Amino acid sequence: MNYVLVIIGSGLGGGLRFFLSSYIYRFFPVYFPYGTLAVNILGSIILGILIFALDQKDLVSQNTKLFVGVGFCGGLTTFSTFSFETLNLLLESEYMLMTFNILGNLFLTVLGVFIGYLIVR
């Protein structure tokens, strides 16, 4: 049952990632991976809410943690895409954009988890 929850959550998260990334690129230039950055921040906020509001207060079951935390957030956020896009920026000699992508994904996703924490405090 645990695997089924993670698989379904991952599918929904991955579907939302594709939708949001595609939507974001309608408004922002494609030379920078804004879509990946946005879904990584959103997933971090959701995970922060799940952990700090729901898990620490025993308001969610283990199944919900697996479905949302491991499955949905795992499918929504994406380190492999981030890595691929960062390498492409390097290969295209876009050093400033590459650095912004690395720092943005690192610091803004940590900030996202903190925002989730603040929301539930």
Domain residues for 112? 2-120
- Total structural domains within the chain: 1
pLDDT tens-place values along the chain, 121 residues long:
999 999 999 999 999 999 999 999 999 988 999 999 999 999 999 988 888 877 677 778 889 889 998 899 999 997 878 898 999 999 999 999 999 999 999 999 999 999 999 998 8
Identify residue 25 by its one-letter amino acid code: Y
Tell me the two tokens of residue 109. 């996703």
Q: Does residue 9 contact residue 66 with C-beta atoms inside 8 Å?
A: yes
DSSP alpha helices (H): ranges in the chain? 2-24, 34-49, 62-64, 73-76, 79-91, 95-120
